[in-house]
Amino acid sequence: MVALIIFQAALIAGAPLGHFAWGGQDRVLPIRKRLGSATSIGLYLIFAVLILQRAGLAEVIPWPAVVSIASWVLAGYFLLGIVLNAASRSRPERWTMAPLCVVLAGLTGLVALS
């Protein structure tokens, strides 16, 4: 998750890595997609809290049932990410983000099972 946050921050800062994200049409993201990257960072932070709590490493959300359900929803989100990234027109995005989503879906699923 930390690597994804750093990656999105680099995209926001104008790093020419856009071919790995958001459909791969722009090497340097336009403002609108940079806002999407900022939103992604916020989501990644929420995802990290959920997974850390489900794994028993943090205690932030006072409702264990919500954390349990949310961890399964998150695993499903990463499964959907596999399909969407594999269908990208951008070859770099297909070859990096789809496998990354496979790993994230698998690890999130393992944590959700705990």
The pLDDT value recorded for residue 59 is 95
Residue the block writes with tokens 């990463």: 78
Residue spans of the chain under pLDDT 50: none
The sign of the torsion formed by the CA atoms of 44, 45, 46, 52 equals positive
Tokens of 3: 């690597």
**Residue percentage of the chain with pLDDT more than 90:** 99
Q: What angle in degrees, to the nearest 10, is found between the helix axes of 31-54 and 64-86? A: 140
